[in-house]
Amino acid sequence: MTMTPMPQIGQLQGRRILVTGAARGLGFAFAQALCEHGAHVALADLREDLLPQAVAALQGRSFSAVGIRVDVSDPASVQHCADHALRALGGLDGLVNNAAVTDSGGKGMDDIEVAKWDQVMQVNVRGTWLMTRACRPALRASGRGAVVHLASDTALWGAPNLMAYVASKGAVIAMTHAMAREMGADGITVNAVAPGLVMVEATQYVPETRHRHYIDQRALQREQMPEDVAGAVVYAMSDGARFVTGQVLAVNGGFVMN
């Protein structure tokens, strides 16, 4: 007797997830992986020129995806994005806070401009808080809400000449712990993923010497690609992580080990 194989159902089938900074790079990789596992995804980004292409690429594969413009440094824009995502998806089960300013490197702490420092903090730290706060009621109503913040392993090893970014991601890690405790009563998990240096558009400015340092010091000695990080985000959004909260997962090929 020949058995017909059962169709594979994604572990995120039917989940409704908002991903910020999703028009390209890591954010798009996350959105794509979430869609591949069955989720309905809202891609939010400041880059209106890139967002339609990203959404079209996913819809072209018959995935459920919508695009929303957002400026996470603007509280009104953040609230509009959360409300739009809730309406478009019919609810919200997950939030991936990926939007960030990354181009703050190459200067020592004495040479960072105050305006750049403030911009990094507004987007990377305040934006993460504002978006999580705006989405909290919908995540609570879901009954299986999950939040993933994008941290960075730079905050775990103290990367030099990147002070504003490192400080912002250290704050994201601290917020992960505090938010996990505050939102636990809502049944919402809050975790962080801390990638190493990933080969994306946002890291093109990084000197070759820094890339070489990462590769040489990793247990897995190769460049890190966006898909290397996406699996951790999918896991944190899944039922397999329902009792995992307040954790920081370094995904960097063993460059930093806890």
Helix crossing, 25-36 with 226-237: angle to 10°?
Answer: 50
- In this structure, are residues 253 and 218 in contact, taking their beta carbons and an 8 Å threshold? yes
Among residues 165, 205, 214, 235, which one is catalytic?
A: 165
Nearest to 19, CA basis, from 2, 5, 33? 33
Look-up of token digits 């959004």: 237
Using only C-alpha atoms, the chain has a radius of gyration, in whole angstroms, of 18
What does the alpha-carbon distance between residue 189 and residue 191 come to, in Å, rounded to a whole number? 7
* Closest C-alpha among 73, 58, 179, 55 to residue 118: 73
Strand order from edge to edge, sheet including 248-251: 65-69, 40-45, 16-20, 94-97, 146-150, 189-195, 248-251
165 is annotated as an active-site residue: yes
What residues act catalytically?
165
